[in-house]
Amino acid sequence: MWIANYWWLVIPGLLLGFYAQIKLSSTYNRYARVGTSRGLTGAEAARSILDASGLYDVPVGEVPGHLTDHYDPAKKELFLSSENYRGNSVAAVGVAAHES
């Protein structure tokens, strides 16, 4: 009996998660086509934010994959996916800023 009640709690969470993922992908794809006014890349934006915060010793690296951007606390390094590391779109800079 408790299993039937359990699914009523899980299904709304899964649906909300799927909805959030769809919205995130849609918004990212829309702004991936809009360039920054200065032509700033994601790597340059991340480096600028880290430097402004006094985090000169945190390197910014490139990692393969789509939206695989993350900070690795074990390595103390910020990793940006290739499209965000090299990209100069509003989406690339926004993701880099978020991770920084």
Q: Cα separation of 28 and 66, whole Å?
A: 11
Write down the catalytic residue from 44, 77, 83, 99.
99
Active site residue 77: no
Q: Which residue has the tokens 């849609």?
A: 26
**Catalytic residue ranges:** 99
